[in-house]
Amino acid sequence: MVRQSGEESVLIPAGFSPKSLTAVRSLGARGVHTVVAAPKRTVPAFASRYCDEQVLVPSPWDDLIAYKDALLDLASRPDVKAVVPSLEENTFLFSKYDEFAEHVAPLWPSFEALRTAHDGKRLAEVATEAGLPVPETMSFDEVDDWSRELIIKPRYAILTSEYEPSLSPSECRGKMDPVHPEPGVEPDREALTAELRGNPPIVQEYVPIAREYSFRALYDHGEPVATSLKRQIRGKTYAGGASVFCKLVRDPELEEMGRRLLDHLDWHGLATVQFIEDARTGGFKLTEINPRTWTSIPLDVRGGIDYPYFYWLLARGERNRIAPHYRDGFAAHLLFGELQYLLSVVRDDYPNAARPAFRTALWETLTSIYEHPNFYYPKLDDPRPFGRGVLNVLPFGD
């Protein structure tokens, strides 16, 4: 679509998850001109009827600085008034490089707050200072008892030269999945570091999970503008992971804990604060912060709390127009994620998590889809992104 003279635009860096597509749909449907930037033409957001401009940019995983320069060039256009941090590397670049704030509304945390959110060990320390319970968190070398049930994780949510001096400024490595070591067997630190692509490992006590929650928020210089709470019902594996079936809920204790941490960090912009409910005690423990939009954001938007649009209003200085209300109990699925969950039940082996019977897992999945026929990708008035997403997982999809 050709941009009309005087029309304001939003820049949306896109990946393959539903979060950037949701921002495109939300803002495009409200008449905001959408400029979508991605390294590949196969991203589902490019297929959306609400994508007004498609711009190919370098991949941040190939050259982070080239990716930054391409985004900065787009952000410097006079029509672009805001840029939505859909990806982990987006928030890192916006927060680190002051040039972005010269062109668009700087709706992202300070670099000090971001470093804390990205550093799993530092986050555990800061959360403890704020009075929030966290799983016991150690560096790999501090562990003296491998007979316990433990989880090994990358220390950093994203690995760059800021966190690992041996990397060049152009190098960027993403977060890898946690490792569940066999109790009583000390893992090989060198092999683990290689498996985590150089990201130094941290170790946490294993906490049996009764439920997983995510406190979502849009903050304006330390003040909450809009918040919601999600309960994860299924993750992409039977041990947890990214949500594939979840619902919006309310819990005053969790909401207070989420706000307390973000207040303590003087947060600015979007964030999700992840919690687990300890199956042994019923208490909640903090696990991580994600300083960007989140994969399950279609749940919030379809449930009535439109974070991409609220973000746009805040960027435009129209905070008074934000009305944050959502439908308690609204639930939605990531269909491909449900398939990943069922495959995990069949083929994965997590020593610290109980594997459900496949028949039980299949029945629960099908029943929930029947009872809650709400999905991240499929949308009657915008069907092409779902088709593009299906093609992307097929051998001939490219």
- Residue 113: predicted pLDDT: 97
Residue count of the chain: 398
User: Is the pLDDT reported for residue 396 higher than 70?
Assistant: no
Whole-number Cα distances in Å, 391 to 74, 103, 264, 385: 29, 36, 44, 10
Residue ending a domain, among 152, 187, 205, is 205
Does residue 53 share a domain with residue 17? Answer: yes
Does residue 190 share a domain with residue 217? Answer: no
Which residue, among 169, 14, 15, has the nearest Cα to 93 in the 3D structure?
169
Rounded to an integer, the average pLDDT of 263-287 is: 96
Q: Which residue has the higher pLDDT, 391 or 316?
A: 316
Query: Is residue 271, in this structure, part of any structural domain at all?
Result: yes
Q: What percent of the chain has pLDDT over 70?
A: 97
136 phi/psi in degrees, rounded to 5:
-55, 125
What the block records as the tokens of 84 is 């939505």
Q: Identify the CATH number of the domain in which residue 353 sits.
A: 3.30.470.20
The average confidence (pLDDT) of the chain is: 91
Query: Is residue 121, in this structure, part of any structural domain at all?
Result: no
Strand ranges inside the chain, DSSP E: 9-13, 33-38, 53-56, 80-83, 137-139, 150-154, 158-159, 173-174, 201-205, 209-220, 223-237, 240-249, 269-278, 284-290, 331-333
Beta bridge partners of 367: none
- Judged on CB neighbours under 10 Å (0-12, 13-18, 19+), 311 is buried
Helices first, then strands: H and E counts in the chain: 12, 15
Q: Judging by DSSP bridges, how do beta strands 201-205 and 137-139 pair with one another?
A: antiparallel
From CA 2, how far away is CA 202, in angstroms rounded? 49
Q: Name residues whose C-beta falls within 8 Å of residue 79's C-beta, 6 or more positions apart in sequence.
A: 3, 7, 8, 9, 33
What the block records as the tokens of 211 is 């439920």
Query: Is residue 359, in this structure, part of any structural domain at all?
Result: yes
**Amino acid code (one letter) for 27:** L
Query: Is residue 131, in this structure, part of any structural domain at all?
Result: no
User: Is the pLDDT reported for residue 176 higher than 80?
Assistant: no
Does residue 64 share a domain with residue 27? Answer: yes
Does residue 167 share a domain with residue 186? Answer: yes
Whole-number Cα distances in Å, 267 to 61, 109, 212: 27, 6, 23
- Residue 377: predicted pLDDT: 77
Beta bridge partners of 331: 247
For the stretch 131-150, pLDDT in tens is 999 999 999 889 989 999 99
**Amino acid code (one letter) for 266:** D
Does residue 280 share a domain with residue 266? Answer: yes
Q: Please, where are the H alpha helices in 83-222?
A: 88-96, 111-118, 120-129, 189-195
Does residue 388 share a domain with residue 329? Answer: yes
From CA 306, how far away is CA 47, in angstroms rounded? 21
Q: Which residue has the higher pLDDT, 123 or 339?
A: 123
Whole-number Cα distances in Å, 366 to 246, 305, 360, 372, 380: 14, 27, 10, 10, 21
**Amino acid code (one letter) for 351:** P
- Judged on CB neighbours under 10 Å (0-12, 13-18, 19+), 185 is exposed
366 phi/psi in degrees, rounded to 5:
-65, -40
Query: Is residue 220, in this structure, part of any structural domain at all?
Result: yes
- Residue 135: predicted pLDDT: 95
Does residue 324 share a domain with residue 201? Answer: no
- Residue 2: predicted pLDDT: 53
Does residue 246 share a domain with residue 381? Answer: yes
Does residue 351 share a domain with residue 237? Answer: yes
For the stretch 23-77, pLDDT in tens is 999 999 999 999 999 999 999 999 999 999 999 999 999 999 999 999 999 999 9
Does residue 48 share a domain with residue 167? Answer: no
- Residue 392: predicted pLDDT: 74
- The single residue listed with the structure tokens 């501090």 is 142
From CA 165, how far away is CA 219, in angstroms rounded? 31
What is this structure's pTM?
A: 0.90
Does residue 339 share a domain with residue 232? Answer: yes
For the stretch 198-238, pLDDT in tens is 788 899 999 988 899 999 999 999 999 999 999 999 988 98
For the stretch 350-375, pLDDT in tens is 877 789 999 999 999 999 999 999 88
Q: Identify the CATH number of the domain in which residue 91 sits.
A: 3.40.50.20
Query: Is residue 116, in this structure, part of any structural domain at all?
Result: no
Whole-number Cα distances in Å, 45 to 163, 223, 241, 337, 354: 31, 31, 23, 18, 37
Does residue 157 share a domain with residue 86? Answer: no
Residue ending a domain, among 89, 107, 125, is 107
Residue ending a domain, among 173, 205, 237, is 205
Query: Is residue 375, in this structure, part of any structural domain at all?
Result: yes
User: Is the pLDDT reported for residue 185 higher than 90?
Assistant: no
Q: Please give the span between the terminal C-alpha atoms of the chain, in angstroms, as a whole number.
A: 24
Query: Is residue 230, in this structure, part of any structural domain at all?
Result: yes
Q: Which domain holds residue 228?
A: 209-392
DSSP 249-283: E--HHHHHHHHHHHHHTT--EEEEEEEEEETTT--
- The single residue listed with the structure tokens 């949308």 is 379
Cα-only R_g, the chain: 21
Specify the number of domains making up the chain: 3
Q: What confidence category does residue 381 fall into, taking pLDDT thresholds of 50, 70 and 90?
A: confident
